[in-house]
Amino acid sequence: MSQAEESIEYLSDDDNVAGVLRGDVFVTLDELMVRARKAATGLRSLGVEPGGSVALLLRNDHEFFEAAFATSALGAATVPINWHGSAEEVAYVVNDSEAVVVVAHADLLHRVRTALPASVTILGVATPSSIAERFEIDDAIASLPPDVTEWASWRDGFEEIHDAYIGDPLSMIYTSGTTGHPKGVRRLPGTNDGSQAIDYMTEVTKLFGAWPGMRTIIAGPMYHSAPYAYALVAARAYGAYVVLEDRFDPEEFLSLIEQHQISSMYMVPTMFVRLLRLPPEVRNRYDLSSLRHVSHTAAPCPPDVKRAIIEWWGPIVDEFYGSTEVGFITGCTSEEWLEHPGTVGRPLPSSDVLVINEGGPVPVGESGEVFVRARANSDFTYFGKSDARAEIERDGLITCGDIGFLDADGFLYLCDRARDMIISGGVNIYPIEIEACLLKLGGVADCAVFGIPDDEYGESIAAAIKLDEGAVLSADDIRSHVRSHLAGFKVPKVVTFHESLPREDSGKMFKRKLRQPYWENAGRSI
């Protein structure tokens, strides 16, 4: 047990019971497992088999845990879907993942139901009143249509499964790519170096600040891989007391930490930015002394933001670098980061990091594309798209599309991206998907979408547009078109119109020329 674990004091054993709290409803871990075993029997009756998949279109709620654990018991994978997506985007993931069942909150189902394939079974969850209030959802939409099977009553109609073990949930997280279509990341069991697996999990556990009896808050949506893993593994493997926040609110977040004596948290830099924007008198209003560990990843954290958080909370902020595909690759403590400002850490003992340019590996301090491998983590494929997996591999190592360098002490720094990707609020956004959408709008002759600095989200989306001769479109027309086909977070914040766009003779767009004016005074390049 670590020094941090020994120093945690809880109000009582009853206050520290394992389970999940959302709003004012607490469900113990034991009860969640009973529900999951019943649901597993039900899912099996619907045709969910080992290697199959169940799609989850759910906000942070108890049913997310139940469905994920139930699917795991059958050896199938849960497919958490970004509920910001349009009906077209959600339907694509359901179809591509070959999901047999979709479990969805009522308000989310209302938007996408007609686009879902007729072959899937839909199980609905009434949208809780606290979530409906937070997201300003009308009561009619928060209620299930009478012809949709309600999850809880359906679940409780089955006996508990007895021939299966509920382990850490298997998942198939969809991540976009340069093709513009999302791809399901499917783990390949038995492809890791088992001799290093224990050491790897020990390092990951330290980075996550996980220990038996931990108390945590999940403020990010669980369709993202890190909150998904953090919440579900903490609950099952560590008997955690898990508090779900319907939607991140900075002051409410601090209040929940104090109220529930939160000890460990996973966050993204955008949350740090919003917390630091609170007036000092608000920040100082809450007792955060229970905090023992905070981990973050998902996007580059501005050094001034990272330093300010460490000064506020103390040296309890760890950072790691990796991706849905490769898992955890590097990590660093607060002390290491303060000694190497801007780093994303050193490779974990079972990880390999190689920085390469056209000529091969580069010397220390020189930038190149970063290729990585976590030997103790299972390998992956893109479900049904093995060729896309091969495109990002080099000699057994995978690139996340980042440009960076290693210093003399072995710490990795990221300074640019090789792939045409935007990271906004920790979410990967691929411009080609937005560009393809824009080119379907009559009057758009050419376009380029790219990331520009944003103090809160890290990056926001800009679109440079060339119109057909005689065409008349406004920035609002551009945004409205994207919003009608894609998720709201993919709508360009900045739209500019140009007589010509900088393409070379081969047709390649010089996006760097478009990006440069926005970034030249930003003090960073990603």
Q: Using one digit for the tens of pLDDT, what is the confidence trace for 138-192?
A: 999 999 999 999 999 999 999 999 888 787 778 999 986 544 578 999 987 766 6
Whether 484 and 465 map to the same domain: the answer is yes
Whether 479 and 402 map to the same domain: the answer is no
345 vs 195 pLDDT, higher one: 345
Q: Say how many C-beta atoms besides its own lie within 10 A of residue 319's C-beta.
A: 22
In a domain, 483, yes or no: yes
Whether 444 and 473 map to the same domain: the answer is yes
Q: What is the spatial distance between Cα 229 and Cα 223, in angstroms, rounded to a whole number?
A: 10
Query: Helix or strand or coil: residue 505?
Result: coil
pLDDT of 131 higher than 70: yes
Percent of the chain with pLDDT over 70: 93
Give residue 386's pLDDT band: very low, low, confident or very high (50, 70, 90): confident
State the pTM of this model: 0.82
Whether 413 and 345 map to the same domain: the answer is yes
Whether 401 and 488 map to the same domain: the answer is no
Domain boundary among the residues 419, 452, 478 is at 419
Structural domain span for residue 413:
301-419
Q: What is the spatial distance between Cα 459 and Cα 426, in angstroms, rounded to a whole number?
A: 9
Whether 447 and 491 map to the same domain: the answer is yes
Percent of the chain with pLDDT over 90: 55
Q: Using one digit for the tens of pLDDT, what is the confidence trace for 9-51?
A: 333 334 568 999 999 999 999 999 999 999 999 999 999 999 9
Whether 366 and 465 map to the same domain: the answer is no
In a domain, 272, yes or no: no
**Least confident window among 75-89, 199-213, 221-235:** 199-213
Whether 334 and 399 map to the same domain: the answer is yes
Whether 415 and 450 map to the same domain: the answer is no
In a domain, 212, yes or no: no
Q: Using one digit for the tens of pLDDT, what is the confidence trace for 230-274?
A: 899 888 888 999 999 988 999 999 999 999 999 999 998 888 988
In a domain, 17, yes or no: no
Whether 406 and 484 map to the same domain: the answer is no
Query: Helix or strand or coil: residue 149?
Result: strand
- The CA R_g of the chain, rounded to the nearest whole Å, is 23
283 vs 468 pLDDT, higher one: 283
Q: What is the pLDDT of residue 2?
A: 31
Average pLDDT, the chain: 88
In a domain, 49, yes or no: no
362: CATH: 2.30.38.10
In a domain, 333, yes or no: yes
484: CATH: 3.30.300.30
Whether 316 and 415 map to the same domain: the answer is yes
Q: What is the pLDDT of residue 354?
A: 94
Q: Using one digit for the tens of pLDDT, what is the confidence trace for 269-317?
A: 888 988 998 999 999 999 999 999 999 986 778 788 899 999 999 999 9
Q: What is the pLDDT of residue 178?
A: 47
Structural domain tally of the chain?
2
Q: What is the pLDDT of residue 12?
A: 37
Check if the beta carbon of residue 250 is closer than 8 Å to that of residue 278.
yes
Whether 399 and 311 map to the same domain: the answer is yes
Q: What is the pLDDT of residue 124?
A: 97
